[in-house]
């Protein structure tokens, strides 16, 4: 069955292995199925929910676009654009914000994590972020949304918002209720320094993540310094629940080498951790270094990246205008 795919990535810099394995790698696989219609968005409106420097944001929008292309997205086959150039996203977010309930939003764990202890100081934008995300998806009648596991709750909220809108305006199936596409295994890549924290762009320690632009030496160094424990490499029957760092590294290996975790355990059982780390570094350098080099090359041609975004924006605007006009009619504007 053909799918309508929508997903986004925030241009907040330091795109990392978690973004790649949890989301972008999947974007490319979906695009390569010719039956699918794919829309991939650089969600710059989302990024300003925390303060950004204007010049750095501009650069990060291009860098995220370059990352999409370097990872294998093709602007001829997928619509690639940045969110702020299609004003319907913000307009629909307002309308959906009036349908959404405070109680729903206050249950969102990502807001709690990102706002930290001092919620009073978090932006209102950060609080209503999931409503904008719902607008992004519903505006294009997306049937499937590839995201990392951390976005599952927001996707569930998006489904609730779509259903409530359809009920409130007596328009059955008008907003399409989307399905999340979350990889079954290792959909959450964890920090290299703390196996209980997700790998994240905003972690103050650069050693916690593999950035997609890290070069060979940096990758090797970060894996060497990654946290493990004092126990030997696990065997097939060893439970990894109490060894989150080891589980994470094995998961990354299994994902990149397209092998089951049992196969990886079997290969390294009883061996020294340093042997495993060397092999993991080799695999990472092999997969990530070419992407990083391509990102750096693409960034030298800003004009090319801007043209991709402008073309994508035109296509996205055509689709969004039609839908927002229907939404406005239903609402009574
Ligand atoms: N650690 C991760 N493991 C798997 N998937 C991940 N994603 C992010 N981190 C991981 C997925 O990447 C896509 C784009 O994410 P985003 O940039 O829009 O926002 P995010 O989830 O907030 O990413 P970060 O790195 O955690 O950024 P900061 O530090 O700024 O909050 C999403 O599909 C996400 O699931």
Query: Read out DSSP for 243-267?
Result: -HHHHHHHHHHHHHHT--HHHHHHH
The count of C-alpha atoms lying within 13 angstroms of the C-alpha of 256, restricted to the half-sphere facing its C-beta, is 20
Do 4-187+302-331 and 206-297 share a fold?
Answer: no
Q: What is the pLDDT of residue 237?
A: 81
Q: Which of 6, 151, 191 to mutate to test the pocket of ligand 1 (most atoms within 8 A of CB)?
A: 151
User: What does the domain layout of the chain look like in residue ranges?
Assistant: 4-187+302-331, 206-297
Sign of CA dihedral 285, 206, 296, 66: positive
- Would you name the residues annotated as active-site residues? 114, 198, 201
- Minimum-distance ligand 1 atom for the alpha carbon of 150: 35
CA gap 130, 274 in Å, rounded = 42
Contact of 64 with 56, CB cutoff 8 Å: no
Q: What is the pLDDT of residue 27?
A: 96
- Minimum-distance ligand 1 atom for the alpha carbon of 147: 33
Q: Which CATH superfamily is domain 206-297 in?
A: Tyrosyl-Transfer RNA Synthetase (1.10.240.10)
Output the CA 256–ligand 1 centroid distance in Å. 18
Sign of CA dihedral 74, 78, 79, 83: negative
Output the CA 229–ligand 1 centroid distance in Å. 26
Q: What is the pLDDT of residue 295?
A: 98
Find, among 146, 144, 133, 236, the residue nearest to 184 by Cα. Answer: 146
**Do the strands 37-42 and 4-9 form a parallel or antiparallel pair, or are they unpaired?**
parallel
Q: What is the CATH number of domain 4-187+302-331?
A: 3.40.50.620
Output the CA 157–ligand 1 centroid distance in Å. 18
Q: Which residues of the chain have pLDDT under 70?
A: 1, 186
Residues with CB under 6 A from ligand 1: 9-10, 12, 18-19, 22-23, 147-148, 150-151, 187-189, 198-202
Nearest protein CA to atom 34 of ligand 1, as residue: 148
Q: What is the pLDDT of residue 240?
A: 84
Q: What is the pLDDT of residue 149?
A: 85
Q: Which of 8, 18, 184 to mutate to test the pocket of ligand 1 (most atoms within 8 A of CB)?
A: 18
């Amino acid at each position: 069955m053909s799918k309508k795919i929508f997903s986004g990535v925030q241009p907040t810099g330091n795109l990392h292995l978690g973004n790649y394995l949890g989301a972008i790698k999947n974007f490319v696989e979906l695009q390569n199925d010719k039956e699918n219609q794919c829309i991939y968005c650089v969600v710059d409106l989302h990024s300003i929910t925390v303060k950004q420097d204007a010049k750095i944001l501009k650069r990060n929008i291009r860098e995220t676009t370059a990352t999409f292309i370097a990872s294998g997205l093709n602007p001829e086959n997928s619509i690639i654009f940045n969110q702020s150039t299609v004003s319907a996203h913000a307009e629909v977010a307002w309308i959906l914000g009036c349908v959404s309930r405070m109680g729903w939003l206050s249950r969102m764990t990502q807001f709690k994590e990102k706002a930290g202890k001092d919620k009073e100081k978090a932006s209102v934008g950060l609080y209503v972020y999931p409503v904008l995300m719902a607008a992004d998806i519903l505006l294009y009648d997306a049937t499937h949304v590839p995201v990392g596991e951390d976005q599952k709750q927001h996707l569930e909220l998006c489904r609730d918002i779509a259903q409530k809108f359809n009920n409130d305006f007596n328009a059955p199936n008008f907003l399409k209720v989307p399905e999340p596409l979350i990889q079954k295994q290792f959909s959450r890549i964890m920090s290299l320094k703390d196996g209980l924290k997700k790998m994240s762009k905003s972690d103050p320690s650069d050693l916690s993540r593999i950035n997609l632009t890290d070069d060979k030496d940096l990758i090797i160094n970060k894996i060497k310094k990654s946290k493990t424990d004092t126990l030997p490499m696990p065997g097939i029957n060893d439970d990894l629940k109490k060894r989150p760092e080891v589980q994470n590294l094995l998961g990354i290996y299994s994902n990149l080498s397209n092998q089951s975790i049992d196969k990886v355990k079997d290969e390294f059982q009883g061996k020294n951790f340093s042997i495993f780390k060397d092999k993991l570094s080799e695999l990472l350098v092999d997969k990530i270094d070419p992407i990083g080099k391509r990102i750096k090359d693409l960034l030298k041609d800003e004009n090319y990246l801007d043209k991709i975004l402008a073309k994508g924006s035109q296509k996205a605007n055509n689709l969004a205008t039609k839908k927002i006009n229907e939404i406005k009619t239903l609402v009574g504007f």
